[in-house]
Each structure stands twice: as C-alpha cells, then as structure tokens.
Chain A
Amino acid sequence: LFAVLFRRHVRDVHRFVWRRTQDDGLADDLTAMTFERCWTALPDYEPKRSSLRPWLFRIAANSVASHYRAEGRRRRREHFVSVRDEPLVVSTDPANSLSDIEFGDRSVLDAMGRLDQRHHEVLSLRFLADLTTAEAADAMGVGSSHFAVMQYRALAALKRQLEGTS
C-alpha cells in the first residue's frame, strides 16, 4: 500500500517541496522525510477526516516548516548569516518584479521561513502545493471560511516580515 502511495504522489510532493526550497538536494531530503513520516502515520490515518492527498501535503508542509524553523534556530545560535539571507530589495517596477519571479522570489520564501509554523503551512498549502482552497482547508483540518481567515492572517504576517526586511 505504501509503495503504491509513494509512486502515485512522490512527483507532486517533490514539486511542492522544490518550489518552497528551490534546492534540489534539500527537496530530495524533505521529500524522503515526508514519506517516512507518512509511513509512520499511515496506521493512524482516518479517511473520514481528510482525503489522502491533502493529508500527505500537510505532512510535507509540516516537514518544510520544521526544517526552516530548525534552520532559523541553528542560524541564530551560530550568528551565521548566509548569502541567501541577504534581503533583496523588492522593486515596485513591474519589470524588476517579473525578474524576481523569474529567478525565484527569494525574499518572499525567506520571509515565509520566518513565519510561525501554522502561517507557513497555510501559505505553502494554498499557493505552492497545487491544492484547491477546499483541499488546503481539508489539509489543515478546518472549514473553508476558517481557512480564509487563517490565510488572511498569514498574509498579514508575511507582509510584516517583508516590511521588516526591507
């Protein structure tokens, strides 16, 4: 059963993780971690509560958020600022914005990494996981209206992070 599940969903999960990390090696690691956790949690999975695909993506989003949280702690401990943490100046010029998107909007991704886990998961599932809003709400275990409120708050938090960075 697990092998079938893996074969069916590994590409979607890997794509989702890569969009969030934009790092091949890290995407492989987090994809593997996601399926290992899925394997562990599979006996407790309740189809009545959530569909399999949203449930799997929730695990993936959780793995990514956990990774960035741990990474943030490690960086704070070591007072290490990597090159990729240097904030990018987000230009209001549409041409420059397009350029940012083309090469990956790292400032947004980095700001997401500084959000708390719940906000991080909401935005990842909603915008990076190819899930519908209903599926994302299902993954979070809440109703659509509740999820809309969570998304609003997560976006506000992300905006604060971006403003603080700039």
Chain B
Amino acid sequence: MNDPIIRRLESLGEARAPELFESHVRTLEERVMAAGPAPIDKPVGRRRAMPMLLSAAAALLIAVVAFGALGGGRNGLTVSAAEGVVVELPDGSSAAVSAGDDVPDGAIIDVAIDGEVVVDGQRFGSGRYLVVDGRLLPEPVSSTTSTTTTDPRSPTTAPLAVTPGSPPGIDPPPTTEIVPITRPIDSTVDRSRTTVGRSTIVDGTTTPPTTTTTTTIRNRPDRTTTTTPATTTVSPTTTASIPSDRSFDTRPEGG
C-alpha cells in the first residue's frame, strides 16, 4: 500500500543537493566555532509540565482528603436557630445561645422543654446534647443513672429501661434494660457437718479439740466453707453469708 509513497520518498532522497564549496564550508565552520556548543535545552512544555501539574494536583487532593478525615480543622458548630437554649462551655461557664453563635467541641447544649436548636439544618428538641466534632450528640446518661440497681431480693421489681429522649434526626441510642435476678438467693444451709476432735493431753497441758465445720450451700455445690480450728463456740446451725454478687443482664431493647 505504501509503494507509491516509498517511491516518492526515495526520489526525494535522490534529489541533487547543491554542493558546498570550500568557502561555504569555512563560513559554516566559523559560525559553529563562534557559537560554541549549543546550550543544553531541557524539554519544557506540556510533556514536562503535565506530570508536574498532575503530581501537584494529586498531592493537593491527598492533603484535602487528609484534612477532611482529620476533622478538617472544624472544632465546633454554628447554631442556625436557637430558642430556650443554654450552653455549658468546657471551661464551666454557661451562656444563652442565639442564632449564629459558634459552640466549641466539648460544650453541652441544654435545650429547654419547649425550646429547640437548629444545627446544619437539623432540628433538636428538648434535651441535653454534647458537641463532638462539630456534631450534636445526645449527652450520654451519667453512670449513676445507668447503674441504678434494684434490690436483688425483690424479683418483682419492674425492669428499668433507660431511654434518653431521642430528638428527631438523631438515631436513638440503644436502650439498656436492666433485668433483675429472678432466681432468689438462697442462703439456707443445706447441709452442715461438724466434726469435733478429741482433746489431747501433752506434758500436762490440755489441748482443746479441733472442730471442723463443713457447710454446703444449696444451688452452689461447688462452694464449701471450711472453718478450722473451731476453738470458739461452735453453733450447731451455721448460716453462711452470701456475698451479693448479683449479676445483671444488659441487653438492647427487643434483642
């Protein structure tokens, strides 16, 4: 397919070029010698500039992403609207909040019963919220509330469901249900066996007999209490003291 083109190219290669006379050669030589070696021209332009631009753009993108992932320098939030809202700042001071106020991370926003606060287009009703990473989170229930216990010996106590107020727009935290122990703790001694040893006389001294009391608690057959020696008064009916090692099942509601 290229034969005609090859023929034309070969014809161009056979074209008679003007001969260089000696004077012309000398002129060229003087010109080259006067100019000296050509300066090294480094390739510039798109071929060299594009990779540099792309590298710079990639570095900038990575920096932006990393900045965003690390919080983006945002250390609080701006309240769009507020009514009946008081903020407790991390330094302990309190102030009323109005629209446009900046609230730093770590502050607690307290919204009155009939109040509301709007942040990032989300409306939050009555309650207490903690400002974390520029977002409003329901303030976690204090530990004293969550660990409220009931009398373990009253199995009729109703389960305590801790459900903090969930404002609209925020997923409610998992409900913690404290279930009291339904199994009554039985401290009745099931079986008590006391072994009294004999008194011995050594060198005229009477050694009191050793008394061993073995108490087995019902439902806890693995527990055996052994008292030795029983130099004190041994009561025939020993009542073991059961530690209140109550356990609570903590399960999400409905789970």
Residue contact B37 to A104, C-beta cutoff 8 Å = no
Given contacts A24-B18, A39-B38, A127-B12, contact A31 B29 (CB under 8 A): no
Q: How far is A74 from B17 in the complex, measured between Cα atoms in Å?
A: 27
| Structural contact, B18 and A36, CB atoms closer than 8 A | no
Query: Given A39-B37, A155-B6, is A19 in contact with B13 using a C-beta cutoff of 8 Å?
Result: yes
B12/A10 in contact, CB under 8 A: no
Q: How far, in angstroms, from A97 to B25 measured CA to CA in the complex? A: 34
Mask, B1-43, CB within 8 Å of A = 1, is 1101110111111010111100001001101110111111000
Contacts of A37 in B (CB 8 A): 38
Contact A7–B1 (Cβ < 8 Å): no
**Are B28 and A108 closer than 8 Å at their CB atoms?**
no
A17-45 near B? 1/0 per residue, CB < 8 Å: 01100101000100111011101100000
Whether, in the assembled complex, A15 has its beta carbon less than 8 Å from a beta carbon of chain B, the answer is yes
The reply to whether B35 and A36 form a contact with Cβ atoms under 8 Å apart is: yes
Bound form: Cα–Cα A159–B6 in Å = 10
Asked if B2 and A159 make an inter-chain contact with CB atoms under 8 angstroms apart, the answer reads yes
Question: Which residue from chain B places its CB closest to the CB of A10 in the assembled complex?
Answer: B25
A5 CB to nearest B CB, Å:
11
| A interface residue count range (under 10 / 10 to 19 / 20 to 34 / 35 or more) | 35 or more
Docked CA distance A100–B4 (Å)? 13
Q: Are A104 and B15 in contact (CB under 8 A)?
A: yes
Indicate if the CB atoms of A105 and B1 lie closer than 8 Å.
no
Residues 142-185 (chain B) with a chain A CB within 8 angstroms: none
Give the residues in chain A near B40, CB-CB below 8 Å: 40
Q: Are A127 and B18 in contact (CB under 8 A)?
A: no
Q: How far is the CB of B48 from chain A (nearest CB, A)?
A: 15
Q: How many residues of chain B get a CB closer than 8 Å to chain A's CBs?
A: 28
Give Cα A109 to B11, complex, Å.
12
A35 and B32: CB pair below 8 A?
Answer: yes
Q: Is the CB of B36 within 8 A of A108?
A: no
Measured CA separation A18–B20 after assembly (Å)? 11
Could you say which of A6, A19, A22, A24 contacts B32, with CB atoms under 8 Å apart? A6
Contact A32 B5 (CB under 8 A): no
The 8 Å CB contact of B31, one of A11, A32, A105, A152, is: A32
3 residue pairs, one from A and one from B, having the closest CB atoms? A36-B38, A40-B37, A127-B9
Residues of A in contact with B (beta carbons under 8 Å apart) = 3, 6-7, 10-11, 14-15, 18-19, 22, 24, 28, 31-33, 35-37, 39-40, 97, 100-101, 104-105, 108-109, 123, 126-130, 152, 155-156, 158-159, 162
A-B contact pairs, 29 of them (CB 8 A): A7-B29, A11-B19, A14-B17, A18-B17, A19-B15, A19-B17, A24-B18, A31-B28, A35-B32, A36-B36, A36-B38, A37-B38, A39-B32, A39-B36, A39-B37, A39-B38, A40-B38, A101-B11, A101-B12, A101-B15, A108-B5, A108-B12, A123-B9, A128-B13, A130-B13, A152-B2, A156-B2, A159-B1, A162-B5
Given A11-B20, A105-B11, A123-B9, 19 other A-B contacts at CB below 8 A? A7-B25, A10-B25, A10-B28, A10-B29, A11-B25, A15-B17, A19-B13, A19-B15, A32-B32, A36-B36, A39-B36, A39-B38, A40-B38, A97-B8, A104-B15, A105-B8, A128-B12, A158-B5, A159-B1
Interface positions of B (Cβ within 8 A of A)? 1-2, 4-6, 8-13, 15, 17-20, 25, 28-29, 31-33, 35-40
